[in-house]
Amino acid sequence: MKRNIFVTRPTLPPLEEFIPYLEQIWENKILTNGGPFHRQLEDELCRYLGVDNICLFTNGTIALVTALQALRVAGEVITTPYSFVATSHSLLWNGIKPVFVDVCASTLNLDPAKIEAAITPQTTAIMPVHCYGHPCDVEAIQKIADNYNLRVIYDAAHAFGVEDEEGSVLRHGDLSVLSFHATKVFNTFEGGAIICPDAKTKLRIDQLKNFGHVGEVNVVAPGINGKMSEFNAALGLLQLKHLDEAFARRKKIDLAYRERLHGVRGIHCLPGSGEKIANYAYFPILVKPDYPIARDELNERLKDKGIYPRRYFYPPISEFPMYRGLPSSYRENLPIAFEASGQVLCLPLYPDLEIEVVDEICRLIAEQ
Return the HEC string of 155-217. ECCCCCCCEECCEEHHHCCCEEEEECCCCCCCCCCCCEEEEECCHHHHHHHHHHCECCEECCC
Q: From CA 260, how far away is CA 255, in angstroms rounded? A: 9
DSSP-derived 3-state class of residue 26:
helix
Q: What angle in degrees, to the nearest 10, is found between the helix axes of 60-70 and 86-93?
A: 40
Fold of 242-366: Aspartate Aminotransferase, domain 1 (3.90.1150)
Q: From CA 114, how far away is CA 104, in angstroms rounded? A: 9
Q: Compute CA distances 303 → 251, 271, 306, 360, whole Å.
A: 25, 26, 5, 13
Q: 164: closest CA among 27, 274, 328, 325?
A: 274
Q: Is residue 212 within 8 Å of residue 219, measured between CB atoms?
A: yes
Q: What is the pLDDT of residue 274?
A: 65
- Alpha helix positions (H), the chain: 15-28, 36-49, 60-70, 86-93, 138-148, 199-208, 230-261, 295-304, 321-324, 335-343, 355-366
Q: What is the CATH number of domain 15-238?
A: 3.40.640.10
Q: What is the pLDDT of residue 252?
A: 97
CA 259 to chain CA centroid, Å, is 26
Q: 172: closest CA among 186, 200, 151, 187?
A: 151
Q: From CA 105, how far away is CA 215, in angstroms rounded? A: 49
Question: Is 15-238's fold the same as 242-366's?
Answer: no
Q: From CA 54, how far away is CA 32, in angstroms rounded? A: 17
| Digitized pLDDT (tens) for each residue of the chain, 368 residues in all | 457 999 998 878 888 999 999 999 999 999 999 999 999 999 999 999 999 999 999 999 999 999 999 999 999 999 999 999 999 999 999 999 999 999 999 999 999 999 999 999 999 999 999 999 999 999 999 999 999 999 999 999 999 999 998 899 999 999 999 999 999 999 999 999 999 999 999 999 999 999 999 988 899 999 999 999 999 999 999 999 999 999 999 999 999 999 999 999 999 999 886 657 899 999 999 999 999 999 999 999 999 999 999 999 999 999 999 999 999 999 999 999 999 999 999 999 999 999 999 999 999 999 98
Q: Is residue 60 within 8 Å of residue 153, measured between CB atoms?
A: no
Q: What is the pLDDT of residue 275?
A: 58
Q: Compute CA distances 365 → 254, 281, 287, 296, whole Å.
A: 16, 21, 10, 13
Query: For strand 123-127 and strand 151-155, is the pairing parallel, antiparallel, or unpaired?
Result: parallel
Segments making up each domain of the chain, as ranges: 15-238, 242-366
Going by the DSSP 8-state scheme, the letter that residue 229 receives in this structure is P
